[in-house]
């Protein structure tokens, strides 16, 4: 890790300022060569960025952060010049003539991780914050970045470890092992840990959903009001609506945000037996959309008493009883997963949006963490191991309790980067932007 790296940290294109970041042992030499002096630590200093023969490449603010009090934990030099891609390029090219190489994506943050400036979950939250598509997702990322998620994982890990040590010493030293393992206290501890992991899974899943959103397909018989529903949910006249059954042929897409939850809607062709080759193709597309959706809104006419989805979809299905204006029934919730709506006026859609939030695992009170699939997988494995440990404890199988606690400990360690393989680390940081 003795190489010095450099990259433009601001986004490509023209802007007010452009920042070049340098990290590593050659920072002082770079400052000397480029500025003619090494700026006082952490003091914004106006300077010309020039090469030795006096040509000024740009001018701006130079900031020097000596190790270890810097983002990466190494010597860092930050040059805030003008946001001109050409000027930035010339500054970087000059710096690369020193003993410096171009940084890989995420390499600054990777160094911060390796120098214990942040743990792996926090480092991932940096990328999640940059990539966040909604205020809710940004809030979840900030919460994870602050270390709140990591702190909870570590605390849990500590309790797992403490219990494991207790159980192992019970196995080794107890004359009456059975008595040790019969303690109510250990059962209670395991139950508490299991509850905490469950809460972390829920809060991380909520954060992940805020980040990736929900794919929702609108499906049902022809003419029930699917396209009207799409238009009404989007608040725009996207799809053609007519009273002729079989109006929609192709799948149509639209995006909306429900309190920050990104939702991608797909309107599909009404499903029915048809000879029309175009309609048949449309229905094929409809079925493909249903396959990949996270949730299906199955639309039926409220007047149709027995209407139901033709088969059990593998995906979550919400029943939308539309055209309730024609039956005179009250719009809104009919149950957890069933709604009455009028797509002409929008009545009942507020409840339907609530239903979609519920499907997504949206949590009010916004206590979500910027969960990643790998966090959730590890948490679920830890959860399974704790359940097994509890079962083995009841069976008084000390060795197996200890083994399951070891598995839980490894899973929790993976999340914060204590027991994470180099390959996985490489994969994680490769998805970052250059300069971060």
**Residue (98 or 327) nearer to ligand GTP, CB:** 327
Q: Which is nearer to ligand GTP, 40 or 242 (CB)?
A: 242
CB neighbours of 86 closer than 8 A, spacing ≥ 6?
Answer: none
The stretch among 65-73, 120-128, 247-255, 416-424 that binds Mg ion (CB under 5 A) is 247-255
We find the least distance from the C-beta atom of residue 239 to Mg ion, in angstroms, to be 6
Question: 88-125: string of b/e by CB count within 10 Å (b at 16+)?
Answer: bebbbebbeebebeebebbbbbbbbbebebbbbbbbbb
Separation between Cα atoms, residue 95 and residue 146, nearest integer Å: 33
End-to-end Cα distance, the chain: 17
Q: Which residue from 222, 309, 332, 384 is in contact with ligand GTP, where contact means CB under 6 A?
A: 222
Closer CB to ligand GTP, 24 or 225, in the complex: 225
Residue 1 binds which entry of Mg ion, ligand GTP, none, with Cβ cut-offs from 5 to 8 Å by kind?
Answer: none
> What are the Cα distances from residue 333, in Å, to 172, 285, 301, 350?
59, 30, 15, 10
343 binds, among Mg ion, ligand GTP, none (CB under 5 to 8 A by kind): ligand GTP
| 342 is a contact residue toward ligand GTP (CB under 6 A) | yes
Q: How far apart are CB 301 and Mg ion at their closest, in Å?
A: 14
Q: Report in angstroms how near the CB of residue 243 gets to Mg ion at its nearest.
A: 11
Structure tokens at 100: 């410096």
- Type and span of the H or E element at 319: strand 316-322
Residues 217-236 that bind Mg ion (CB under 5 A): 226-227
Q: Which is nearer to ligand GTP, 344 or 407 (CB)?
A: 344
Count other Cβ atoms within 10 Å, centred on residue 255. Answer: 10
* 23 contributes a contact to Mg ion by CB under 5 A: no
* 331 contacts ligand GTP (rule: CB under 6 A): no
Gap between the Cα atoms of 299 and 288, Å rounded: 17
Q: State yes or no: cis peptide before 364, omega within 30 of 0.
A: no
Q: Pick from Mg ion, ligand GTP, none: which does 228 bind, CB < 5 to 8 A by kind?
A: ligand GTP
Residue nearest to ligand GTP (CB): 270
The answer to the question of residue 325 lying near ligand GTP (CB under 6 A) is yes
Scanning the structure block, which residue is given the tokens 């037996």? 273
Q: Hey, which residues between 119 and 158 contact ligand GTP (CB under 6 A)?
A: none
Q: How many angstroms separate the CA atoms of 194 and 236, rounded? A: 46
Cβ distance 122 to 150 under 8 Å? yes
322 binds Mg ion (CB under 5 A): no
**Region binding ligand GTP by CB under 6 A among candidate stretches 143-151, 166-174, 286-294, 318-326:** 318-326
- With CA atoms as reference, report the closest residue to 20 among 71, 73, 62: 62
Q: How many residues bind ligand GTP (CB under 6 A)?
A: 23
Which of 122, 144, 209, 227 binds ligand GTP (CB under 6 A)? It is 227
Say if CB 180 and CB 170 are below 8 A apart.
Answer: yes
Looking at beta carbons only, is 205 or 227 nearer to ligand GTP?
227
C-alpha 29: how far from its chain's center? Answer: 39
Residue 228 beta carbon to Mg ion: minimum distance, rounded to whole angstroms: 8
CB atoms within 10 A of CB 301: 18
Q: Residues 245, 278, 280, 350: which binds ligand GTP (CB under 6 A)? A: 245
Query: Minimum distance from CB of 249 to Mg ion (Å)?
Result: 9
Tokens 């250059």 -> residue: 434
Number of residues that bind Mg ion (CB under 5 A): 4
| Residue 21 interface partner, choices Mg ion, ligand GTP, none, CB cut-off 5-8 Å depending on type | none
- The C-alpha atoms of residue 32 and residue 225 are separated, in whole angstroms, by 70
Nearest CB to ligand GTP, comparing residues 188 and 276: 276
Strands, E assignment, 39-194? 45-50, 56-65, 76-83, 100-102
248 sits near Mg ion (criterion: CB under 5 A): yes
Q: Indicate the residue among 205 and 227 with the shorter CB distance to Mg ion.
A: 227
105 or 222: CB nearest ligand GTP: 222
CB atoms within 10 A of CB 374: 17
Distances (CA, A) of 32 to 12, 28, 44, 64, 422: 27, 6, 16, 12, 35
Q: Does 265 bind ligand GTP (CB under 6 A)?
A: no
Sites for Mg ion among residues 96-125 (CB under 5 A): none
- Gap between the Cα atoms of 216 and 330, Å rounded: 25
What are the residues binding Mg ion (CB under 5 A)?
A: 226-227, 247-248
What are the residues binding ligand GTP (CB under 6 A)?
A: 222-228, 241-243, 245-248, 269-270, 322-323, 325-326, 342-344
């Amino acid at each position: 890790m003795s190489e010095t790296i450099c990259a433009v940290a601001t986004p490509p294109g023209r802007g007010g300022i452009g920042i070049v970041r340098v990290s590593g042992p050659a920072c002082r030499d770079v400052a000397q060569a480029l500025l003619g002096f090494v700026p006082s630590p952490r003091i914004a200093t106006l300077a010309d960025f020039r090469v030795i023969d006096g040509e000024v490449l740009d001018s701006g603010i130079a900031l020097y952060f000596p190790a270890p009090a810097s983002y990466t934990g190494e010597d860092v030099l930050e040059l805030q010049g003008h946001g001109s891609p050409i000027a930035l390029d010339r500054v970087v090219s000059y710096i690369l003539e020193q003993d410096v190489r171009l940084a890989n994506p995420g390499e600054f943050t990777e160094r911060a991780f390796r120098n214990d400036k942040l743990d792996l979950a926090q480092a991932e939250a940096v990328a999640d914050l940059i990539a966040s598509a909604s205020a809710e997702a940004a809030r979840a990322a900030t919460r994870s970045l602050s270390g709140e998620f990591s702190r909870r994982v570590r605390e849990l890990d500590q309790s797992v470890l403490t219990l494991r040590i207790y159980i192992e010493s019970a196995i080794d030293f107890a004359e009456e092992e059975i008595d040790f393992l019969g303690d109510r206290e250990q059962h209670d501890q395991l139950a508490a840990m299991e509850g905490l992991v469950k809460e972390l899974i829920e809060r991380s899943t909520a954060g992940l959903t805020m980040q990736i959103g929900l794919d929702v397909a609108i499906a049902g018989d022809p003419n029930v009001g699917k396209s009207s529903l799409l238009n009404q949910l989007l608040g725009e006249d996207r799809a053609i609506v007519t009273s002729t059954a079989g109006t929609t042929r192709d799948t149509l897409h639209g995006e909306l945000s429900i309190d920050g939850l990104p939702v991608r809607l797909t309107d599909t062709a009404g499903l029915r037996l048809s000879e029309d080759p175009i309609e048949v193709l449309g229905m094929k597309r409809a079925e493909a959309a249903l396959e990949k959706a996270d949730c299906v809104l199955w639309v039926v006419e409220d007047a149709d008493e027995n209407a139901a989805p033709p088969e059990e979809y593998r995906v979550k299905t919400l029943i939308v009883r539309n055209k309730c204006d024609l039956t005179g029934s009250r719009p809104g919730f009919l149950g957890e997963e069933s709604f009455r709506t009028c797509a002409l006026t929008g009545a009942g859609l507020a409840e339907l949006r609530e239903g979609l939030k519920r499907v997504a695992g949206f949590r009010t009170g916004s206590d979500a963490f910027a969960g990643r699939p790998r966090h959730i997988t590890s948490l679920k494995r830890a959860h399974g191991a704790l359940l097994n440990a509890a079962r083995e404890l009841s069976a008084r199988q000390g060795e197996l309790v200890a083994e399951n606690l070891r598995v839980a400990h490894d899973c929790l360690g993976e999340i914060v980067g204590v027991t994470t393989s180099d390959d996985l680390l490489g994969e994680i940081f490769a998805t970052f932007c250059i300069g971060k």
